[in-house]
Structure formats: C-alpha cells, structure tokens
Amino acid sequence: MSIDEEIEIMGQRLHSKIKNIFGRSLSIREVDAGSCNGCEVEVNALSNPIYDMERFGIHIVASPRHADMLLVTGPVSRNMELALLKTYNATPQPILVAAMGACACNGGIFGNTYASGGGVDKFVPVDVFIPGCPPRPQAVIFGIMLAIDKLEQKISKREVVV
Amino acid sequence: MKEELDTTHIMDPVQIIRKEFASQIISETVSNNEVYFSVKKDSVVEICNYIYSHLDGQLITMFATDQRKTDGYFTVKYVFSMEGIDKFIIIQIEIEAEKTQFRSITHKIPAANWYEREIQDMFGLVPKRHPDPRRLVMFEDWPEDQYPLRKDFDINSKPPRVEGTYDYKKVEGEGIYEIAVGPVHAGVIEPGHFRFSVAGEPIINLEIRHFYTHKGIEKQFENISIDKAVFLAERVSGDNSVAHAVAFCQAIEKIASVDIPKCAKYVRTVLLELERLYNHVSDIGGIATDVGFAVGSAHAGILKEKLMQLNEHVTGSRLLRGMVMIGGVRRDVKDISDLSTRLSLLEQEFRDLIDFLIETPSLVDRIETTGIIHNDIARALHVVGPTGRASGIDYDVRRNHPYAAYPQINFDVPVRNDEDVYARTVVRSDEVLQSFSIIQQALQLLESIADADMIVDVGDIPSGCALGYTEAPRGETIYWVMMGDGKIERCKLRDPSYCNWPAIEYAVLDNIVPDFPLINKSFSLSYSGNDM
Ligand code: SF4
C-alpha cells in the first residue's frame, strides 16, 4: 500500500469518529516538553498538502484553552515541567493527552536524569502512547484515533452529556 | 622591526604564538590538525585576545573538563579555528580544585559570553568580571551547590527545586511596553522565551531566554556506551541528525587514528547533503509561510515531503537516522538505482519553486532589508552557517576544514553581503543547488568503486581527545570528545544555533514585531541543539 493510500484509509476512519463525537474538528495543542525537534518535524509534516490532516478534522490550535487534546513530545525536561503543568491546567476537561515519541513515552534515550523527566506520564495522566523516534505521520494519526476511543470511555464514566 | 611585521601574516600562527608567548606557555601537544597550548592561567585573556584580533582566530567553542580525580584540577579550553588554514588552536588553562575562578574573556571576545556562563552553571567555575553573570542553562530553581558536569554529580539525582529569581533586563521610558512570548508557543515549534520591549511598533530590545529543553545530553554521553552514543548524537537536534552523528563519529575515529573506507565517506556525504536539502527547502518554505504566502508555502511543503520520503527510501528513516556508525556507515546507497533520477526531478521542482518565490514582489518586499545582521556583529558573535554567509562571512566547514568526501568534490560556497532575510533565503537556495550537484558527484564516485567496504572495525578506542566537525544545514557543528578507559570521559558538543541565537537580539532591532517570526525563521535555529 502506498503512503497516500494508508493515509487516506486511516484519515477517513478518523474523520468519521471525530465527526460522530465532536460534530466539529478535534482541536489539538502541541506541547514540546523538551523534544529533540524530530517529533515536531513529523507533526508539521501532518499539515503539509500531502497529509493535510485538517481535511480529516484535526486542527492545531494556538492555545490550550481551545484544545480537546494535548499532543506532548519530549521526555519533560526539568525546565519545561512547570510549563507543561500550566498548559495542562489551562486545558478544559475532559482532556485527552497523547504522548508522542519514545522520549514522551518513557524518556527514551534521554532517560530519567537530573534534567530529563523520564516521560510524560510521570507528570500528567496520559491516554495514549505513540511509540517511534519519531513516529511516522501515519502512526500519529493512528494514535489520535485510539485516543478518541478513550474519550468515549471518559465521557460515559463521567456521565457527561455531549 | 618592519620586516618582522611584514612576515607575520604569512607565518604559521602556531609559530607566532610559540614566539610571542614563550614565557606563558607551559606545554604544547600536537595531534592531527589540533595544537594544544597549556598556558598560565593569568595570561589567558591576553593570549586569546591576540589569537582573535591579530591572527584572525575564531572562538568556535569553549568548555571545561573535570580532571580532579586523575590530575587534581579542572581545565578550561578555548578552541580557535584559524583563518585560511585547516588548523585548530586550543588554549587550555588548569584550575586547581579549590580555586574555582578564571578570568572572563567576554569583554574582548563577545562570542565567549554564553560559554562562560554555561561553564559557571555546569562546573561551578566562575568567570571573573563577566558582564552578565546570571544563570544560563540551569534555572533559578536549581540549587547553588550542584554542578551537573562535575564528575561527583550523579546523573540520576533530582535536586529539589529552590526559591530563586531571574532578573530580566528592564527597558523603561514613556510608551514602552513589554511583550513576553513562550516557552509554549502558538505554533508547532520548540520552547523558548522571548521578551520584547516595544515602542509603538518597532522593537527596541529583545531578550531571549533559552535552555527550556536542556536534557543533560553532555552528561548522558558520559554514561552510555560508545555505540549508543551515536544514537544520542543523532538526537541532539533531530533535524540535523546526520551532521551531529558524523561530527561525533569523526572525533572518535580521530582518537582511534582510523581512516574510514572511501565508500563510507561518499555515503556520508550523500546523507549530509540529503539532510541539507530537506532542511533548506523547509526553511525557504517557512519564509513563504511567515509572509502569509500560502501557495508558495504549499509548494515547498510538498517538495519537503518528497525529500523526506526519499530519505526514507534511501535509509529507512525520514530523518536519515541509523545510518552513520563509528568506523563508517551501516549500508551502501548504490543499490538504490533511481536515486540519481529522482534527485534530478526534484532539482527541477526546486528551481521552479525558487523562481516562483523570487518573482513574487509581495514576498520579496517583506524580506528585503528585514532583519539585518551586520557583518561586524556577525563576526564578533561568530555567527555561522547560511546566516553568517548571508552577512559576508565566507566560512564553510566543508571547505575550510574538509572532511568526508568534500576534498574530492567541486562545489561553491555562496556568500552575500546584503545581510537581510532575503540574503539568507537566497544563500540557502544557492546551497540547495550545490547540494544536488554534490550528491550527484558523490554517487558517481561511489559508482566508480566496486564492492567496497562500508565500515572498518575501530577496535578498542584508546584514551585521548579530538575534535569532530561538520557543516550542518544550520552551520558549523563541533564535537570535542575525550576518551579514557574505553569510556567517554567528556563530550562537548556545540550546535550552530548556540552561536546564532544571540545574534537574533540584534537582527530584530528597529523591526516591527510581526516581522519577528520571519526573521526567526530566516535564522532557522534549533532549541534542542542549543539547550543540549
Ligand atoms: S522521540 Fe525521538 S524524535 Fe521524538 S523527540 Fe524523542 S528523540 Fe526526538
């Protein structure tokens, strides 16, 4: 299967899920919590005309206050810890958190040291882990899809009316 | 007397230093193209300043080592790249374990500013009379007596946060207001803090604060195996993976005195230039994005994606990772038969793109005379890469300190003197064309050798130290590695962004705030590489 076909199939699935649950686009705030920038390269790739994730209803927003989901990269450096927590607290509930990349999953090659926090779930609750260094754009789309399934669970548990 | 003066500029700078400072030099070691002078601690300002102002030496990096356990002292080393010759002069001083001070050279060599503050944070060695002694890498909530790069500091420790303040510079006056941005930005970019002081629209001061992404990479190097270290180097600044990995490997190969197989050199060259291609195309596209020119931006986005898919086709990694190894490369690229044809097609696409952009007046209007960084400031701060070359600095590691296959390849180093965003864009675009040609030449060289080795066994790495360097897409990248007992004792790395970030504080002056993203993009800076 070509990359285009892969993206198309997954994207359409994702799109219908987003439409069903939100009735609008899914808003994502990206937080770089100390990545090497490799993961950002791939998040940015998702916006290029070839992947064009906006057409599947994924929208990157400028503020956490407008976000349904935080897409966090990096192992959470000591110097970014506070900013990550502030961003999390500024995001309306229920929040979805996706940890993108090996570092965000468990610290990756940077480990758990004086400066590297050893993964996003040490600081905020994480709904999905997207492995890879960096994950390919297809993997990011797949991860977002899994996260949305979690949202359904979250909403039913809290009995929030949508 | 006159005769002596006349000959100085043609004399070897090493001989001049030997002669001028005979009484201050304690010892001298030469290895490959690196000359190490141990000098008396109190003469360091004078000697460094002499190298800088009389011998045209550029301070390319500066760092400390903790050798208390073996030798009983710390050292501070000043690495100079010499103009016009493939030589590095390294001045070093010893600092006794109890006397943790050394003289600051920042007032003479502005490029030393951040290095000295970094040494202060990481080693607890204090640069005396430094003009700006604030914290740099470690934030104000880091305890006073903990210095991560000292050997007795445990990498896994988590010192508690303490109360502390960080004072930003204050600009005061009627109608002046501050805009604080970051560390979490509106776009998908890395974290850093920017503080603008603005009067009406023009920026009258910018203060940047970085190191939010400091991950303790240099310390991590000392705690992992040498093979894993290559992967770490690839992750210092993700989009410059190859340049970092090659620089690191070259340092190790130099210590081990091995010459890697020719084929490996050609493959490395191909990879280094593939990296430049997708980075430069991305940066050029970023300029179109930041002036709101969506069509240009979309075209560049497509081309970048095609280049990244080509990367994956060639190496299995969109970021070209996992190919560079100590002693060579993991595999050949010769069997990728359509590589050359695909590149030719992409080259044509790029030519069309750049013609389209440069012929669009609304884009050119925005970028001409925007974000000027004058040659004298660029020189003083040792601004590197396309940014330096767009400000008239004719320096490119590939030519000035050749490595990999570059000595066998013909290429030009584009230099411009208009010093603005436009110049930086055009320099990058000219470099893209050079890169296409370099790759084709390297592929031809590769073709000419049948079934050759891609890697040589380096064996146990002996103790010693050496510099490795590359011209990354962003510019000169430096690694200095010291080995001992088969382990990495110290690895100082310096990403080009570390030199170029301070220059942006000058480039934005008198520009309007909405042009900042544009200027920033034209510098194309890495936060992770800078913060280490
Ligand atoms: S997961 Fe890999 S690519 Fe992503 S930030 Fe970490 S090191 Fe970089």
B149 plus B192 within the same structural domain: no
Alpha-carbon separation of residue A69 from A29, A128, A149 (angstroms) = 6, 11, 13
Give mean pLDDT, residues B452-463: 90
The dihedral built from the CA positions of residue B44, B49, B54 and B58, taken in this order, carries a sign that is positive
- CB within 8 Å of B300: residues ≥ 6 apart: B281, B282, B284, B285, B286, B288, B353
CB neighbours of residue A40 within 10 Å: 25
How is chain A split into domains, by residue range? 26-156
Residue B10: per-residue pLDDT: 59
B369 and B465 in one domain? Answer: yes
Give pLDDT, residue A158: 63
Mean pLDDT score of chain B, rounded to an integer? Answer: 93
- For the segment A109-161, what is each residue's pLDDT rounded down to a tens digit? 999 999 999 999 999 999 999 999 999 998 999 999 999 988 878 777 765 54
Q: Give the DSSP per-residue string, A65-98.
A: GG-SEEEEESS-BGGGHHHHHHHHHHSPSSPEEE
> In this structure, how many other beta carbons lie within 10 angstroms of the beta carbon of residue B259?
10
Q: Compute the CA torsion angle B404, B408, B411, B413 (nearest 10 deg).
A: 50
Ligand 1: residue whose CA is nearest its atom 5: A35
Q: Please check whether residue B20 lies inside any domain of the structure.
A: yes
User: Max alpha carbon distance in chain B (Å)?
Assistant: 73
**What pLDDT, in 10s, does the model give residues A68-122?**
999 999 999 999 999 999 999 999 988 999 999 999 999 999 999 999 999 999 9
SS3 label, residue B472: strand
Last residue of a domain, one of B109, B139, B167: B167
From residue B47, alpha-carbon distances to B7, B15, B20, B109 in Å are: 20, 13, 9, 12
Q: How many helices (H) and strands (E) does chain B have?
A: 19, 15
B366 and B467 in a single domain? The answer is yes
Atom nearest to A103 CA in ligand 1: 6
Name the residue with higher pLDDT: A155 or B162: B162
Rounded-to-integer distance, Cα B204 and Cα B438, Å: 42
Q: Is residue B532 part of a domain?
A: no
Non-local CB neighbours of A73 within 8 Å, separated by 6+ positions? A30, A31, A32, A33, A35, A39, A40, A43, A100, A101, A103, A104
Which residues lie closer than 8 Å to B497 by C-beta, 6 or more apart? Answer: B237, B474, B525, B526, B527, B529, B530
Indicate if B115 and B202 belong to the same structural domain. Answer: no
Domain span at residue B341 reads: 217-526
Is B239 within 8 Å of A116 when comparing Cβ atoms?
no
Q: Which amino acid is at B138?
A: M
Contact assignment for A109 to B153 by CB distance below 8 Å:
no
pLDDT at residue B16 tops 80? yes
CATH class of A26-156: alpha beta
pLDDT at residue A41 is higher than 90: yes
B531 lies in a domain? no
Q: What's the ipTM? A: 0.93
B182 CA distance to ligand 1 middle (Å): 21
Ligand 1 pocket by C-beta < 6 Å: which residues?
A 35-36, 38-39, 73-74, 101-103, 108, 133-134; B 235, 238
More confident residue, A2 or B59: B59
- Are the beta carbons of A110 and B215 separated by less than 8 Å? yes
Give the closest-approach CA distance of B11 to chain A in angstroms.
43
Widest Cα–Cα separation across chain A: 44
Which single residue is written with the structure tokens 């010459």?
Answer: B259
pLDDT at B301 over 70: yes
Residues of B in contact with A50 (CB under 8 A): 301-302, 305
Q: B399: Cβ–Cβ under 8 A, 6 or more apart, which residues?
A: B406, B411, B413
Could you give the CA distance from residue A25 to residue A44 in angstroms, rounded to a whole number?
18
Q: How confident is the model at residue B430 (pLDDT cuts 50, 70, 90)?
A: very high
Rounded average pLDDT over B496-514:
94
Rounded CA-CA distance B272/B280 in Å is: 12
Mutate to test the pocket of ligand 1, among A31, A42, A73 (most ligand atoms within 8 A of CB): A73
Contact state of B215 with A42 under an 8 Å Cβ cutoff: no
- Report d(CA A132, CA B55) in Å as an integer: 48
Sign of the alpha-carbon dihedral angle for B421, B424, B430, B432: negative
* Interval between CA B231 and ligand 1 midpoint (Å): 11
Q: What band does A4 get if pLDDT is binned at 50, 70 and 90?
A: confident
Task: Tell me the C-alpha to C-alpha distance, in Å, between residue B204 and each of A75, B194, B298, B301.
Answer: 36, 13, 34, 34
Are residues B531 and B213 in contact, defined by beta-carbon separation less than 8 angstroms? yes
Query: A73 to chain B: which residues are within 8 Å by CB?
Result: none
Phi, psi of B59 (to 5 degrees): -75, 105
Contacts of B188 in chain A (CB under 8 A): 30, 32, 40, 43-44, 47, 60
Cα(A136)–Cα(B39) distance, rounded to whole angstroms? 51
Q: What pLDDT, on the 0 to 100 scale, is given for residue B2?
A: 41
Beta bridge partners of B73: B67, B96
pLDDT of B7 reads: 46
Q: Which pLDDT value is given to residue B5?
A: 47
Q: How far apart are CA B161 and CA B113, in angstroms?
A: 26
**Does residue B193 share a domain with residue B134?**
no
pLDDT of residue B453: 87
Q: Record the pTM.
A: 0.95
Q: Return the best residue to mutate from A39, A42, A129, A140 for the ligand 1 pocket (most ligand atoms within 8 A of CB).
A: A39
For residue B216, the chain A residues in CB contact (below 8 A) are 110, 113-116
Residue B408 shares a structural domain with residue B479: yes
Say how far apart CA B468 and CA B44 lie, in whole Å. 24
Query: Does residue B448 surpass a pLDDT of 90?
Result: no
pLDDT > 70: what percent of chain B? Answer: 98
User: In Å, how far is A160's CA from the nearest CA of chain B?
Assistant: 29
Contact A101/A132 with Cβ under 8 angstroms? yes
Closest partner CB to A41 (pick from B213, B216, B319): B319
DSSP-assigned states of every residue in B371-402? S---HHHHHHTT--HHHHHTTT----HHHHS-
Do residue B190 and residue A42 have CB atoms under 8 angstroms apart? no
Q: Is residue B287 part of a domain?
A: yes
pLDDT at B364 over 70: yes
Do B123 and B251 fall into the same domain?
no
- The answer on B474 and B364 residing in a single domain is yes
Per the CB < 8 A criterion, the answer to whether B234 and B244 are in contact is yes
B238 and B128 within one domain: no
Residue B359 and residue B221 share a domain: yes
Question: Shortest CB distance from B298 goes to which of A49, A116, A136?
Answer: A49
- Shared domain for B242 and B329, answered yes or no, is yes
pLDDT in tens, B172-224: 888 899 999 989 988 898 999 999 999 988 999 999 999 999 999 999 999 99
For residue A27, the SS3 value is: strand
Distance CA A105, CA A72 (A): 10
Facing A50 at nearest CB: one of B190, B219, B305: B305
> Torsions phi, psi of B320, nearest 5?
65, 30
pLDDT band for position B452 (cuts 50, 70, 90): confident
| B500 has pLDDT over 50 | yes
- Asked if B373 contacts B503 with a C-beta cutoff of 8 angstroms, the reply is yes
pLDDT confidence band for A6 (50 / 70 / 90): confident
Count: domains in chain B: 3
What pLDDT score was predicted for residue B9?
52
Look at residue A10 and tell me whether its pLDDT is greater than 70. Answer: yes
For residues B146 and A161, the model is more confident at B146
